[in-house]
Amino acid sequence: MEDFDDFEFCTSVIIPYLKVKKNGRLWNVNLAIAKELYEYKYPFQINEYFLTWKTIYQFQVKSQIITITATNSLKKEFYIQEFLKRFSVSNKKKTQLKQMLIEAIYQQVNNQLIQPQFKIIQKDGSVKKINKLQIQDISQINLIYFYETVDSKSLFKEK
């Protein structure tokens, strides 16, 4: 079932229940996912931070970070400039997008899903390893590599 118009969207195809409804200037989103999916630890986790958003930009940033961290590879690739090109926004809004990106990335670091060290390839092709992402860095980074945190002890636990 799918319904869509300028004021409401509802689907039950991919996610058991998703309803988006316009209420004045705001959109209300109701989403149901299976408990098993929410608690599944590999290859990705969706914590509470990623389940809510206030703007479409925040949704797109969070969705992108989930997509990147959901890959099976321990090495995650994020083409930052390619992602930012999707947005035709003011410099102020671009700065906000960069801040949202950093916040979402560090959410994954804080949840111990990715390591707090990053390998970056800048626009000029130079390669660096950094421990902290800052807004001014984002403008110069073409590609950033995240590395998944692996709990080696859990790999060898008896079941």
Domain ranges of the chain: 1-32, 43-150
- Locate 26 and state its tokens: 């705001």
Confidence of residue 85 (pLDDT cuts 50, 70, 90): very high
State the average pLDDT over residues 82-92.
Answer: 92
Task: Give the pLDDT confidence of 98-140 residue by residue, as tens digits.
Answer: 999 999 999 999 988 889 999 999 999 999 999 999 998 899 9
What's phi and psi for 10, nearest 5 deg? -140, 135
Q: pLDDT at residue 3 above 60?
A: no
Q: How far is the C-alpha of 155 from the C-alpha of 143, rounded, in Å?
A: 30
Q: How far is the C-alpha of 18 from the C-alpha of 93, rounded, in Å?
A: 28
**pLDDT for the residue 72:** 77
pTM for the model: 0.68
Place of tokens 């916040």: 103
Beta carbons within 8 Å of 45's beta carbon, 6+ residues apart? 111, 113
Q: How far is the C-alpha of 98 from the C-alpha of 61, rounded, in Å?
A: 9
Q: pLDDT at residue 52 above 70?
A: yes
Task: Describe the strand order of the beta sheet including 17-23 as a list of residue ranges.
Answer: 2-4, 8-11, 17-23, 26-32
Cis upstream peptide for 43 (omega within 30°):
yes
- Radius of gyration of the chain from its Cα atoms, rounded to whole angstroms: 18
- 12 compared with 123, residue with greater pLDDT: 123
First-last CA distance in the chain = 41
